[in-house]
Chain A
Amino acid sequence: MAVGQNVLRKEGYEKLTGAARYIDDITLDGMMYGKTIRAKIARGRITSVSFDAGFDWSRIVRCDCRDIPGKNYVLLIENDQPLLVESEVRHYDEPVLLIAADTRAEVEEAARHIRIEYEEKEPILTIEQALAGEREVLYGADNVFKRFLIARGDTDEGFAQADRIIEGEYRVPHQEQLYIEPQGMIAIPGDGSLTVMGSMQCPYYVHKAIKQLFNLPDERAIVIQTTTGGGFGGKEEYPSTIAAHAALLAHKARRPVKIIYDRAEDISATTKRHPGIVRHRTGVLSNGRLVASEIDIVLDGGAYVTLTPVVLSRASIHALGPYRCDNVRITARAVATNTPPNGAFRGFGAPQVAFAYEMQMERIAAELGIDSLELRRLNMLGEGDITATGQRLTWSVGAQDVMNEAVSRSRYVELKKDAGAAPATADNKRRGVGLAFFFHGAGFTGSGEARMKAAAGIEITAEGRARVLAGSTEIGQGTQTIFCQIVAEELGIAFDQVEVQEPDTSRVPDSGPTVASRTCMVVGRVVQMAARDAKQRLLSFVAEAFGAPEAELIEGKFVAGGRELAEFTDVARDYVEQNGKLVAIARYASPPGVEWDEDSYSGDAYPVFSWGAEVAEVEVDMDTFEVTVLKITTAQDIGRAIHPLLAAGQIEGGTLQAVGYGLLEELVWDRGRIVNNRLTNYIIPTSLDAPEMETVIIEKEYPHGPFGAKGVGELPMNGAAPAIAAAVFNATGAFVTEIPITPERLQMALEKKAVKE
């Protein structure tokens, strides 16, 4: 009834009329404007902070690390990141002081009257510098935040069998999430309590961080998500810092304080996708069969641990790609550098390794002289096959389906025959086509979900409606809409009879963070279970009230034996009137048989994978080396699509972010400072840079997802970059091993190729 339908999105009206209230749209009585004063060196020690004596500071609230009631760290994995610098500076633009004033102009003016002096140290700015050990170590004994080893079979034996051993090194850059709404928060001091509202993905992350910093019990810290203008991972962990900054000022001023980042501050100071270097050494038989694979991953974690170990874990598990190989050894390290901490960004380690494993497949195909599509078909995982971590794929494997669909819809084989070899056109352009095949594990890695036991629920309201209670946030992807669809379908009522409680930690349970493609598959499943529970209770109520133990709830009516007993709304109202309220909370339980061993890093890394295949058609201007992506055809198996239109929107949006990753987006650094921190020089795709897209959704139902749904959010981030790079290779013969494929980089690759020839 509701699931599978393209209903109108729940919060659509507000977003289309300008009525939706984002954090910067909210102004409170007596509110002050806060600003973060940041360090202007990449590494060193603060020697003095001075406030201009000629400036009137009486109207300014100032905070430093000594104002923090609790401990000076932002709660996450290792708690090594201070909320405010005490003395040691570890990255450029690290927060040192906070100030607030009545107006934005005043706070900006005050900022110009603060001087910070430093004693600088030689910073570690790259992965190479972190590993070389020549500069003073930043973390542990060797600058390595985290290591993983995934080993299966015997690679020595595998390489011994191999007809060819093929090596490749691939490099991937930082990428900025670039949500269009910059980060922002408002903190409101209470009587022994604090309320924080703002733009965020994970209210309970903020909640935990605030509780620790202010020594507050659960109920004394209230975190409310306001309408959020995009996240993409960028509003996973960093909002805790901004919330705490605003809260610290509000706590001291005893007035509400708003902090809104401007674009330059947002790009300069907040998290990015981890850059990395991935090396492959692959043993293959002459027919293309993979028999041994050694993969080494190094990611740049930035100045603090933050979420880096988790990103590295996902990178390691996805590193071999969706391919069969019985002898695998994956080593992974994340290193510390004096750059802002890298963090969550859609894909979370997987896009980095996907570029590498797909380019390695292209390289193997080229060296063996076989077609890369055939190479992929020969090695691709299927049902019953075993992954690098030893996981047997038992259900919902859409690998073949996505490949067949993408290849046939795009006419890949015909296009590839026509392109590449053809001479350049009169205007010196060449065309090419490229393919990528990829997968993505939805939900937390390993035992994460089993440990988390996400909670969500529904409430039957006094008005006779169902209300979803979940900590999962709407950040554009459609959380509110799909949760309502799931509840409507499970209860047997209309979509319009379901509403959503806005995430507020005083009103919704902890459903875990809105990350990891887990909202629909994991939390949606919990919401479904809660609805099932509520329905049972209502049915028992009806059974008693109407003497109808066999009653059912169908299309908003309770019926028994073909007889209509009552409207859902009336029963719900009566129930609440008689019993107070009906709140059903459910918790996530892992599907049976899913097992993960943290020590050996083996087993079922994810309960299920989503699958994708993507074909990119490009045109390369051989005069300017500009690559135009003409069309992307993509087929993605995401299980049952709860809302096909929203799901397609996720795929298209993620695909364009991946086009940006592959072609346009990179940071320019100057001694740890990001130079291109504006929208005029950090280049994301406009409508004119966006290719035509053909999107096919494959629905291999997952028996333990809500109505068969799997994850969709991150999968589309994995395909476009390698597909485009393969297409550029096809068009020009230049094999580019580093993204983005800017015209400058393609020029160098073509010149290198010309020298070789």
Chain B
Amino acid sequence: MNDQITAYSPDSLTEAYAILAERAGTVKIIAGGTDLMVLMNARMLDAAEFLDIWRLDELRGITDEGDRLRIGALATYTQLIKSELIQNHAPALVAASRTIGAIQIQNRGTIGGNIVNASPAGDSLPVLSAYDAEVEVGSARGTREIAFNEFYRGYRSTVLEPDEIVLAVRIPKLKEGERDFFWKVGTRRAQAISKTVMAAKAVVTGGVIQSISISVGSVAPTVIRAPKTERLLASHKLTPDLIKRAGESIANEISPITDLRSTEHYRRTVTGNVLAKFLRQLTN
């Protein structure tokens, strides 16, 4: 299998940029391979050339930049789970990483891959969205930062140019008094694809929500924020009635479909109920 296919395995980013500049549009980038190899094995991927970036150590590492963390695109889920920086400053990302596949996938799958694969069910993505992360991308032409919440054009489509590569993602650290949340409802307890997956972040003082961000996956063509529901909640006192209305609001705000994993009805109701879980936690 895969006998006719070529791959470039550069040792430096400069080499990778050069290959991309020359072969943009024909070469497919492969990182940990946990998504691409599945497609290739199922003969659902027609690429004849790959750019293997696995050796690019420049894309590894998780660093503290003061009020933000910079996570190299090749950081694996296992590295995220084990990182004290992530544990301390973005616990929802640890929680999300632990639900992705099982250990074999966590050891190989990368956050950059999850971003570029652009699946609405990518489990790390709601965290990046709720945290208002920024994606750092580069090419021979230079580097730029793109707000994560503006990274997708639509279903499985990103704003990346053909010669660009994701270098890192930056996420703001959780602030004092801020609490985050991650909840995945999958088809089983491991090796599961999400039916609905939520990440959120909020500050509550004296029972009043000062700020809140809510993001959901698997319920729309891309991972989405829920701005209406956020507005409904912001500056309000958390009451059982508000929790109920927030659940109804987000159920209406999303646009899920019935597919082979779940139903539209289930996804709407349960997304609302999962939000209620977070809001109940906030009242404690």
Task: List A653-705 residues whose CB lies under 8 Å from chain B.
Answer: 664, 668, 675-676, 678, 680-681, 683, 685-689
Cβ-defined contact, B188 with A686, below 8 A: yes
Cβ-defined contact, A624 with B102, below 8 A: no
Cα of A623 to Cα of B263 in the assembled complex, Å: 15
Residues of chain A within 8 A of B1, CB atoms compared: 104-105, 108
In the complex, how many angstroms separate the beta carbon of A315 from the nearest chain B beta carbon?
28
Cβ-defined contact, A687 with B190, below 8 A: yes
Task: List A91-119 residues whose CB lies under 8 Å from chain B.
Answer: 104-105, 108
Q: Which size bracket describes the interface of A in this complex?
A: 20 to 34
Residues of chain A within 8 A of B102, CB atoms compared: 686
Cα of A664 to Cα of B186 in the assembled complex, Å: 12
Cα of A681 to Cα of B193 in the assembled complex, Å: 8
Cβ-defined contact, B42 with A623, below 8 A: no
Residues of chain B within 8 A of A626, CB atoms compared: 185
Q: How many B residues, CB 8 Å from partner?
A: 28
Cβ-defined contact, B260 with A681, below 8 A: yes
Task: List B151-189 residues whose CB lies under 8 Å from chain A.
Answer: 185, 187-189
A412-445 near B? 1/0 per residue, CB < 8 Å = 0000000000000011100000000000000000
In the complex, how many angstroms separate the beta carbon of B250 from the nearest chain A beta carbon?
13
- Interface 9-residue window, one of B10-18, B84-92, B269-277: B269-277
Cα of A171 to Cα of B260 in the assembled complex, Å: 20
- Is B241 engaged at the interface, CB distance under 8 Å to the other chain? no
Given A105-B1, A668-B260, A623–B270 Cβ distance below 8 Å? yes
Residues of chain B within 8 A of A688, CB atoms compared: 188-190
Residues of chain B within 8 A of A428, CB atoms compared: 273, 277, 280
Task: List A612-652 residues whose CB lies under 8 Å from chain B.
Answer: 623-626
A284-301 near B? 1/0 per residue, CB < 8 Å = 000000000000000000
Cα of A264 to Cα of B190 in the assembled complex, Å: 21
Cβ-defined contact, B189 with A744, below 8 A: no
Cβ-defined contact, A686 with B189, below 8 A: yes
- Is A129 engaged at the interface, CB distance under 8 Å to the other chain? no
Cα of A681 to Cα of B42 in the assembled complex, Å: 14
- Is B54 engaged at the interface, CB distance under 8 Å to the other chain? no
Cβ-defined contact, B43 with A108, below 8 A: yes
Cβ-defined contact, A623 with B3, below 8 A: no
Cα of A104 to Cα of B3 in the assembled complex, Å: 11
Residues of chain B within 8 A of A686, CB atoms compared: 102, 188-191
Q: Which of A624, A681, A689 interacts with B270 by CB under 8 Å?
A: A624
Q: Which of B3, B188, B260 interacts with A685 by CB under 8 Å?
A: B188
Cα of A108 to Cα of B3 in the assembled complex, Å: 12
Q: Which residue of A lies closest to B185 (CB)?
A: A624
- Is A540 engaged at the interface, CB distance under 8 Å to the other chain? no
Residues of chain A within 8 A of B50, CB atoms compared: none
Task: List B26-72 residues whose CB lies under 8 Å from chain A.
Answer: 38, 42-43
Cα of A264 to Cα of B193 in the assembled complex, Å: 18
In the complex, how many angstroms separate the beta carbon of B198 from the nearest chain A beta carbon?
11
Cβ-defined contact, B276 with A680, below 8 A: no
- Is B262 engaged at the interface, CB distance under 8 Å to the other chain? yes
Given A623-B276, A668-B260, A676-B260, A683–B270 Cβ distance below 8 Å? no
- Is A331 engaged at the interface, CB distance under 8 Å to the other chain? no
Residues of chain B within 8 A of A215, CB atoms compared: none
Cα of A687 to Cα of B276 in the assembled complex, Å: 29
Cβ-defined contact, B185 with A683, below 8 A: no
Cα of A251 to Cα of B269 in the assembled complex, Å: 59
Cβ-defined contact, A264 with B273, below 8 A: no
B240-284 near A? 1/0 per residue, CB < 8 Å = 000000000000000000001111011001100110110010000
- Is A126 engaged at the interface, CB distance under 8 Å to the other chain? no
Cα of A105 to Cα of B1 in the assembled complex, Å: 6
Question: A residues within 8 Å of B by Cβ?
Answer: 104-105, 108, 264, 426-428, 623-626, 664, 668, 675-676, 678, 680-681, 683, 685-689, 743-744, 747
13 residue pairs from A and B, CB less than 8 Å apart: A104-B1, A108-B1, A428-B273, A428-B280, A624-B270, A625-B266, A680-B193, A683-B192, A686-B189, A686-B191, A688-B189, A743-B270, A744-B263
Given contact pairs A264-B42, A680-B191, enumerate 15 new A-B contacts (beta carbons under 8 Å).
Answer: A105-B1, A623-B273, A624-B270, A624-B273, A626-B185, A664-B187, A681-B187, A683-B192, A686-B188, A743-B185, A743-B195, A743-B266, A744-B262, A747-B266, A747-B269
By Cβ-Cβ distance, the 3 closest A-B pairs, closest first, are A688-B189, A623-B273, A668-B260
